[in-house]
């Protein structure tokens, strides 16, 4: 399913803010930090996780948002950037997507809980999509709350009463319908709510997309552009990535002037199914292959 000019979810906001800020202030960093990755994830041997090298004008970036346990990914989006045509396409992967990993089937969001963390998740995504992953960006819930608070919150029209309690996740949601000014903690509850939607994860994804749309609309202001450096300093407290500042700036410069009609979002096609008493999102392999070949494969 295609949704034009509505890139969404928590980690997307972090990534777009990162791109915008670095493109504005990239020149102020000294050379040694400019080519250093931001808090890169490490392997069990203490080495920086390496991903596939970008080829030509295309690159794929896996953006991950971890949940309260830091063992699961609550958000998973694969970005496909074509710097030659200045296009950005995103593939949102439902967290319950069934994928084969280590000779057994798992929910793709649990791959992060394996020993390799980002490395394990990258392998699972490559198995699902058949695409290379050139970079990864990971952000936790503390980062989401901190960034929203730093930006002064956001106004959102809550479409319905939202109530949900999950003590294990330390998550208690009780939001009333109507316009609200949300700080980081309240915004987290809004974007994580899912049980009240008929289609659960899909409904939550649409709410998150609306949140991101409003956040960008309300916060991409002259005042925030002026303080872009301090915003970036706040962002990098929460982000883990193998993407260096120099590479981010280079990407941002190549995407300057990109029209919003060149931003396209897609979901992994499929259906909800219960297999061996476990609920999954089961991808339609034929439709997913066609979607990837048409939109995400390097030309």
pLDDT digits (tens, 9 = 90+) for 61-79: 898 888 666 688 878 889 8
* Average pLDDT estimate for 21-42: 50
Per-residue confidence (pLDDT) for residue 6, from 0 to 100: 39
pTM, two decimals, is 0.76
Q: Which has more pLDDT, 80 or 200?
A: 80
Q: How do residues 221-269 score in pLDDT, each as one tens digit?
A: 656 656 666 766 777 777 788 887 677 767 767 776 666 677 777 889 9
CA distances from 51 to 59, 77, 97, 136 (A): 11, 16, 22, 8
Q: How many CA atoms lie within 13 A of 10 on its CB side?
A: 31
As a whole-number percent, the residues of the chain with pLDDT over 70 amount to 71
Give the pLDDT confidence of 158-193 residue by residue, as tens digits: 988 999 887 877 778 999 999 999 998 998 888 888
Q: Is 54 left (phi over 0), alpha (psi -120 to 50) or beta?
A: beta
Predicted pLDDT at 16: 54
pLDDT, mean of residues 92-121: 89
Residue ranges and CATH numbers for the domains of the chain are 2-150+205-295 (3.40.630.190)
**Residue 191 CA from chain centroid, whole number:** 13
Q: Which segment of 5-14, 31-40, 142-151 scores lowest on mean pLDDT?
A: 5-14
In the structure encoding, which two tokens stand for residue 132, read together? 């290379």
Q: How many CA atoms lie within 13 A of 52 on its CB side?
A: 17
- What is the DSSP code string of 281-294? EEE-HHHHHHHHHH
127 has pLDDT over 80:
yes
pLDDT band at 26 (very low <50, low <70, confident <90, very high): very low
Question: Which of 7-16, 41-50, 74-83, 244-253 ranks highest by mean pLDDT?
Answer: 74-83
For β-strands 270-275 and 278-283, DSSP reports them as antiparallel
Please give the pLDDT value at position 179.
Answer: 95
Q: Are 79 and 137 in contact (CB under 8 A)?
A: no
3-state helix, strand, coil in the chain (%, to 5): 40, 30, 30
d(CA 41, CA 240): 6
Cα–Cα distance, 276 to 110 (Å, whole number): 17
Is residue 31 pLDDT above 70, yes or no?
Answer: no
Task: Give yes or no for a contact between 213 and 205, defined as CB atoms under 8 angstroms apart.
Answer: no
Helices (H), the chain: 10-25, 31-34, 118-129, 141-150, 184-192, 201-219, 222-226, 228-235, 245-255, 285-295
């Amino acid at each position: 399913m295609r949704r034009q000019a509505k890139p969404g979810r928590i980690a997307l906001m972090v990534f777009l803010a990162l791109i915008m800020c670095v493109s504005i202030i990239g020149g102020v960093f000294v050379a040694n930090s400019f080519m250093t990755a931001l808090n890169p994830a490490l392997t069990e041997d203490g080495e920086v996780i390496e991903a596939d090298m970008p080829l030509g004008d295309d690159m794929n970036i896996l953006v991950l948002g971890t949940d309260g346990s830091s063992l699961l990914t609550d958000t998973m989006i694969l970005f496909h950037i074509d710097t030659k045509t200045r296009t950005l396409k995103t593939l949102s992967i439902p967290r319950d997507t069934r994928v084969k990993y280590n000779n057994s089937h798992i929910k793709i969001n649990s791959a992060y809980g394996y020993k390799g963390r980002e490395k394990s998740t990258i392998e699972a995504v490559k198995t699902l999509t058949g695409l290379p992953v050139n970079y990864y960006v990971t952000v936790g819930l503390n980062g989401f709350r901190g960034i929203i608070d730093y930006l002064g919150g956001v106004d959102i029209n809550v479409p319905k009463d939202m109530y949900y309690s999950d003590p294990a996740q330390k998550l208690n949601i009780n939001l009333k319908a109507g316009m609200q000014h949300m700080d980081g903690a309240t915004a987290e509850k809004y974007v994580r709510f899912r049980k009240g939607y008929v289609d659960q994860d899909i409904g939550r994804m649409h709410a998150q997309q609306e949140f991101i749309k409003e956040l960008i609309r309300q916060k991409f202001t002259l005042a925030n552009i002026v303080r872009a450096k301090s915003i970036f300093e706040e962002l990098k407290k929460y982000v883990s990535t193998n993407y260096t500042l120099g590479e981010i700036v280079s990407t941002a410069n190549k995407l300057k002037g990109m029209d919003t009609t060149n931003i396209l979002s897609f979901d992994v096609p499929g259906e909800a199914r219960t297999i061996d008493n476990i609920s999954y999102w089961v991808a339609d392999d034929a439709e997913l292959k066609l979607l990837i070949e048409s939109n995400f494969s390097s030309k």
